[in-house]
Structure 1
Amino acid sequence: MQFYYGDQMPLRILDEAEFWKHQEEEHTVVIRELVKELEPEFVDALKKWETALGETHHQVIGYIETVIRSGSNVTYDLYQHVLQLVSYCLQQSLSFIRLCEQIKTESAAVSSNATAKVVLNHIIRESEYFTGIAQALLYSNQRREI
């Protein structure tokens, strides 16, 4: 993501968050469908994550609608709420990555499924891409406030 969007920056980062939360939500289904013999504790965890990521996705959509309605008058408070949401999305993605790593290393069903390992690595890299974007935005905003 480029950082030259100026006044559009809150909308641009929300657009990224919306896309990646939806991706992560879908990834929970991909893992469950790909690894049919996945252990019940991981299946249950992925189902909970699907719900949580879906809720975050809807929350991001709500903020996108709010920013669009505000036009070019994004208030300081709204911008701070967007940053808090991005921070939450970042932490959520980091936790989702940890779950994917855990499944990759601890699941017997995955250990015998080379395709599942490749897919999990791909899912992890995609979530890491979003965390990099979120961290860059949050770090650049902290530097501006100093």
Structure 2
Amino acid sequence: MQFYYGPQMPLRILDEAEFWKHQEEEHTVVIRELVSHLESNFVNALKEWEKVLGETHQHVVRYIESVTRSGSYVSAQLYQQVLQLTSFCLNQSLEFIKLCQQIKNESKAISENPTAKVVLNHIIRESEYFVGVAQALLYSEN
């Protein structure tokens, strides 16, 4: 992500969060569909994550609408709320990465499926990309 967006930066980071929360939500389905005999505890965890990530995605969409409606002026309060939401999304992605790593390391079904390992590594890298983008923004604000 480029950081030359100036006053559009809140909208830009929200666009990233919206895209990646939707991706992570879809990734929960990809994992479940790819590994048909995935252990039930992981299936249940992924279903719960799908729900939570969908809720976060919708929350981000509402903020995009708020920032868009604010026109060329984003109040300091709204900007701080965007930063707080970004921090929340970052932490959520870190927790999702932990779950994916746990599935990769502990699931017998995954250990028997080389394709699933590759896909899980890809999913982890994608979430790590968003974490990096979010950290760069948050650290530049401090």
TM-score normalised by structure 1 residue count: 0.97
Deviation at 1:58, TM superposition (A): 0.1
Deviation at 1:84, TM superposition (A): 0.2
Alpha-carbon RMSD:
0.2
Aligned positions of 1:1-146 closer than 5 A: 1-142=1-142
Return the alpha-carbon distance in structure 2 between the equivalents of residues 106 and 78 of structure 1: 42
SS at the partner of 2:37?
coil
Return the alpha-carbon distance in structure 2 between the equivalents of residues 83 and 20 of structure 1: 16
Question: Per-residue CA shift, 1:49-73, capped at 9, x if unaligned?
Answer: 0000000000000000000000011
TM-score normalised by structure 2 residue count: 1.00
In the TM superposition, structure 1's runs of 4+ consecutive aligned residues that sit over 2 Å from their partners are none
Q: Which runs of 5+ in 1 are unaligned?
A: none
Deviation at 1:94, TM superposition (A): 0.1
Return the alpha-carbon distance in structure 2 between the equivalents of residues 73 and 126 of structure 1: 32
The alignment of Structure 1 onto Structure 2 pairs a total of residues equal to: 142
The letter for the 2-side match of 1:59 is: H
